[in-house]
Structure 1
Amino acid sequence: MPFTPARPDPSQPSVRINLLSDTQTKPTPAMRAAMAAAEVGDEQVGDDPTVNALCDRVAELLGKEAAVFMPSGTMCNVAGLLAHCRPGDEILAHRTAHILSREGGTHAALGGFQITGLDGADGKFTPDTLRTALHPRTRYEAAQTLVSVEQTANIGGGTIWAKADLDAVVAIARERGMATHMDGARLLNACVATGISAREMSAGWDSVWIDFSKGLGAPVGAVLAGTRDYIDAVWRWKQGLGGSMRQAGIIAAACIHALDHHVDRLADDHTHARTLARGLAQIAGIDVQEPETNLVFFDPAGAGITAADMVKALRVKGVTLATMDGRIRACTHLDVNAAMIEDTLGMVRDIVRGV
């Protein structure tokens, strides 16, 4: 089932509590001030000092040689994989991975890639599952070129790949001469939750990116890192996809501000997610997946109401969430506080009582 957020309805009250996604965050006043004061230049020819500073900082953060600023995380994935693979190549990823389920078939359309979805609980496949999926290199089958993981696993419930499993996947890929790519849209959520640094978490991975427009609270942007030669190849695709920008320092400044001020506070989002999950679990008939980061997936069917109807009922009350793969997803973020969590729980209880 596709991602289906509740559609805005002018006849309904305005949104008071936005749990739809961490992409819904608004720039803080301090972030807006940083953007207004940003030194800028032409990013496309390498003359924007703020973009350059951001890319250098993310490359250092992730332990890579170089990095490139992108308008979106999807472009990081698309351009990143186009730089890794050739038409006809096979990519191995979890069956719910963003590159397979949320990017409109672009990898097949532009790259001619075959993405094979691997099974596994909570959005993650095991190293053994990866080994089983490998086949001998023959002219009869697609060349298996790349292994991709998503940290954290969105549809899996915001779950965290264990460092040992990440290392095992890298080792298996290297044995087979395959490249590795980490979709790190919420990588820093995993780092804050585990205490493992971003450099350590992404060690050994050929390419990795982080998104700034989710929990970090910037209005737009993501940064992809890897070797210098790889980033040069990515830049060719960024140019061709229309991702090159001009005075992009204005938005890069928001990302730098986020790194300075919004990383450690991701722990608050995780706390709010756990509070929400505990409260939902206490309502008879609601099945809740225990959150590991800032995503809470739950199913109210046992309480006599469908996920879609629950989302509609909450929207009438000014709370917006999304249905995803038959469940409700609530996402905590910078603009959600503890009082909003308690208000949401109260409204869910009222709706269930009404049922």
Structure 2
Amino acid sequence: MNKIIDFRSDTVTKPSEGMLDAMLHAKVGDDVYNEDETVQALEQKLARQFNMEAGLFCPSGTMTNQIAIKCFTQPMDEVICDQTAHVYRYEVGGIAYHSSASLRLLHGERGILTPELIEPEVNDENIHYPNTSLVVLENTVNKGGGKCYSLSQIAPIHHLCNLKGLKIHLDGARIFNALAATGDEAHQYGQYFDGISICLSKGLGAPVGSVLLGNKETIAKAKKIRKAFGGGMRQAGFLAAAGIYALDNNIERLKDDHHHAKTLAYALAESNYVHHVVPVETNIVLFEVAKGYAAKTVQKFKEKGILCSTTNHSTIRLVTHLDISPAMVDETIEIIRHLK
């Protein structure tokens, strides 16, 4: 094999020629002075798409999530999320660091929460308890193997949050993968969330950037927090142009990534060294090998030119994306079948 096939993440993609051309010809200005029309176009485009009032372009999904949580909480509040949630597992304890809030961790099925799980964990008013103020959902669930919520699952959670006076934020890092899998419409999402974080550098293939959506008041507050976080960018339109190109050109093809992931999962399920394959819904494949052998198996794949990663001592993750071609999938399947 002459070429490395990289399944470590859908963040490893490179900009296409069309995306690079869009970046090269972007009209830019100083975004901190509200003078970058391409950034504004991206923010407005996503806000319209998800039926929300405004947007804020940031360097990363971690930043958009952490800004949202700070907008929706006060010190000594408590945030409800699943124990697999990205905001808990992979954001460096940012909720405690930035917002001085505690976490109530739930155990949903592959990261999917329900009103029945959430309601008993909402604290009563009591001097000993933190104030429950926010619920965070993740769609799709990274550590759940790309499992996704449908709007029919989100609606009753939103209803509960309304009854309890809670804000609700969506870590929509792979929201377009969820939409491709469920057939739901993006414009229906705005009615259910106070904040939505959308990543452009995962399945959509932009080199960097996420957008936080909310009402105008939330986004005005978020912009000041972004500045305090060091996230105010200047001629950011070159990056925003990549995001606009991704939204215009790379959404429909996400179904190809899902097909590739399912094809790989079928091959893995037939391999004698694979103990279990988590059912695939989107573009993430999780499979289990003998306990303690995940790192060794990843190394064997690497020696064959296949890059993937471990999630624990027995579980391996493959992520499909726009830089993975059908020929690469076929080549990977041959390696899966003959790996020893």
| 3-state SS, counterpart of residue 122 of structure 1 | coil
Alignment equivalent of 2:133, drawn from 145, 148, 153? 145
Match for residue 309 of structure 1? 296
Q: Give the Cα separation in 1 of the matches to 2:105 and 2:325.
A: 37
Kindly tell me: are residues 148 and 14 of structure 1, through their superposed partners in 2, closer, same or farther at Cα, counting changes over 3 Å?
farther
Equivalence map 1:293-332=2 (5 Å): 293-301=282-290, 306-326=293-313, 327-332=315-320
Equivalence map 1:329-348=2 (5 Å): 329-348=317-336
Kindly tell me: are residues 316 and 285 of structure 1, through their superposed partners in 2, closer, same or farther at Cα, counting changes over 3 Å?
closer
| 3-state SS, counterpart of residue 11 of structure 2 | helix
> How big is each residue's C-alpha offset from its partner over 1:224-266, in whole Å with a ceiling of 9 and x where there is no partner?
1000000011111100000000000000000000011000010
Kindly tell me: are residues 283 and 202 of structure 1, through their superposed partners in 2, closer, same or farther at Cα, counting changes over 3 Å?
farther
Q: Give the Cα separation in 1 of the matches to 2:77 and 2:187.
A: 29
Equivalence map 1:38-187=2 (5 Å): 38-187=26-175
Equivalence map 1:236-275=2 (5 Å): 236-275=224-263
Q: Is contact 1:38-1:249 (8 Å) kept? A: yes
State the TM-score, normalized to the length of structure 1: 0.93
Q: Give the Cα separation in 2 of the matches to 1:254 and 1:171.
A: 36
RMSD: 1.4
Q: 1:15 deviation in Å?
A: 5.9
Q: Give the Cα separation in 2 of the matches to 1:186 and 1:300.
A: 26
> How big is each residue's C-alpha offset from its partner over 1:119-149, in whole Å with a ceiling of 9 and x where there is no partner?
1111112210101212212222000000000
Q: 1:276 deviation in Å?
A: 0.5
State the TM-score, normalized to the length of structure 2: 0.97
| 3-state SS, counterpart of residue 301 of structure 1 | coil
Q: How many residues align?
A: 338
Kindly tell me: are residues 309 and 14 of structure 1, through their superposed partners in 2, closer, same or farther at Cα, counting changes over 3 Å?
farther
Equivalence map 1:205-224=2 (5 Å): 205-224=193-212
Q: Is contact 1:20-1:331 (8 Å) kept? A: yes
- Counterpart of 2:285 in structure 1: which amino acid? V
Q: Is contact 1:88-1:143 (8 Å) kept? A: yes
Gaps of 5+ in 2: none
- Counterpart of 1:116 in structure 2: which amino acid? R
- Counterpart of 2:161 in structure 1: which amino acid? A
Alignment equivalent of 2:214, drawn from 210, 217, 226? 226
Q: Is contact 2:150-2:184 (8 Å) kept? A: no
Q: 1:215 deviation in Å?
A: 0.5
- Counterpart of 2:145 in structure 1: which amino acid? G
Could you list the runs of 4 or more consecutive aligned residues of structure 1 that deviate by over 6 angstroms after TM superposition? none
Q: Give the Cα separation in 2 of the matches to 1:64 and 1:276.
A: 37
Kindly tell me: are residues 15 and 150 of structure 1, through their superposed partners in 2, closer, same or farther at Cα, counting changes over 3 Å?
farther
Q: Give the Cα separation in 2 of the matches to 1:88 and 1:183.
A: 22
Q: Is contact 1:123-1:157 (8 Å) kept? A: no
Q: 1:285 deviation in Å?
A: 4.1
Q: Is contact 1:160-1:292 (8 Å) kept? A: yes
Q: Give the Cα separation in 1 of the matches to 2:125 and 2:187.
A: 32
> How big is each residue's C-alpha offset from its partner over 1:273-295, in whole Å with a ceiling of 9 and x where there is no partner?
01001111111241111110000
Q: Is contact 2:138-2:171 (8 Å) kept? A: yes
- Counterpart of 2:302 in structure 1: which amino acid? R
Q: Give the Cα separation in 1 of the matches to 2:16 and 2:141.
A: 27
**Does 2:188 align with 1:200?**
yes
Q: 1:348 deviation in Å?
A: 2.2
Q: Give the Cα separation in 1 of the matches to 2:25 and 2:113.
A: 45
Q: Give the Cα separation in 2 of the matches to 1:248 and 1:123.
A: 34
> How big is each residue's C-alpha offset from its partner over 1:33-76, in whole Å with a ceiling of 9 and x where there is no partner?
00000000001111000000000001001110110000000000
